[in-house]
Structure 1
Amino acid sequence: MKRIIKAFFDNEILSYLFFGAATTLVSILSRLVIYHISHQEILATVLANLIGILFAFLTNDTIVFKQERRNWPTRLAKFFLARLSTLGLDVLLTYIIVTTFPDLIGQFVEYNIDRVNVVETILAQILIIVLNYIFSKIYIFKRSN
């Protein structure tokens, strides 16, 4: 069993997908808890993204892309900038879909704003996972030759 688990995590794509899912789960749960407490969708989006960024960097840097310790501050800065761009997209989608035009999704969920927020959160996270992989693979975690 240990061999299977090791082989799974030695595969970069499988490992990225696993930790991408874990990061998404951390972000979604954080966002929903913060939203439930505050009922502030933008605040919940921003804080959940910051929590997700830190979790994702730690797992991507050490486990997924198996980077050496040197130059980690540079990678963290690049990672943070890339994730800030997807945070901006997430906030924009939240503002447009939940805050400004909740009826876009609301018509399918009995105009319940909490459900609108959940649906938008899930859709946004799918888009963000794809964009974050592209940024990580091409821009941040390069293999040394």
Structure 2
Amino acid sequence: MIAKLRAFMATEVFKYLFFGVLATLVYMVSRILIFQLTNQGTLSAVLASAIAIIFAFFTNDMFVFNQEKTGMVTRFVKFVGARLLTLVLDLALAYFLVDTYPEIIGQFVGHSHAWVNGIESLFSQVLIIVLNYIISKFFVFTGEKV
């Protein structure tokens, strides 16, 4: 059993999820600290996102997909572009399922806007995690492994 657990922990998917959780923590800590310094919600969200994306890129590049150092700038541009693309998807889903057509989800939760937002957020994040992994694996980190 322990051997199977260790084998799973060595997989690319596990490492991706592990460093994804760390990137989320980096985002949360950064956002809180930046907000404490600036008292600006939007500014703290944008800066924390940038910090988390940079953290995620380097951990994915070095530890998840084990890329060679050559081509790092190209991978970084692709990575940021992919993250911006999935951000647009996130915003579109929130706009359509929470702001414009909340009854699609609301019919199942007594039309509670808070529940609609929570369910849409969960759905959106699962979809984005999967898409980010697929994009990273097949579009961004396609070079030789170290």
Moved more, 4-13 or 115-124: 4-13
| 1:144 is the counterpart of 2:140 | no
TM-score (norm 2): 0.68
Letter in structure 2 aligned against 1:13: V
Return the offset for 1:60: 0.9
Change (3 A) 1:113 1:55: farther
TM-score (norm 1): 0.68
In structure 1, list runs of 5 or more residues that go unmatched.
35-42
Structure whose CA Rg is larger: 2
Root-mean-square deviation (CA, aligned residues, Å) is 3.4
Overall identity of the aligned pairs, in %:
45
Which of 18, 23, 26 is equivalent to 2:24?
26
Say which SS state the counterpart of residue 92 (structure 2) adopts.
Answer: helix
Moved more, 95-104 or 60-69: 60-69
1:1-145 equivalences in 2 (<5 Å)? 10-20=10-20, 22=21, 26=24, 47=46, 50=50, 52-144=52-144
Say which SS state the counterpart of residue 66 (structure 1) adopts.
Answer: coil
CA distance in 2, matches of 1:77, 1:16: 19
Letter in structure 2 aligned against 1:128: I
Say which SS state the counterpart of residue 138 (structure 2) adopts.
Answer: helix
Letter in structure 2 aligned against 1:94: A
Is the CA contact (8 Å cut-off) linking 1:60 and 1:66 kept in structure 2?
yes
Superimposed CA distance per residue, residues 82-141 of structure 1 (whole angstroms, 9 cap, x where no aligned partner): 111111111110100111111222222332222211110110111112211211111111
In structure 2, list runs of 5 or more residues that go unmatched.
33-41
CA distance in 2, matches of 1:50, 1:112: 32
Say which SS state the counterpart of residue 70 (structure 2) adopts.
Answer: coil
Return the offset for 1:11: 2.4
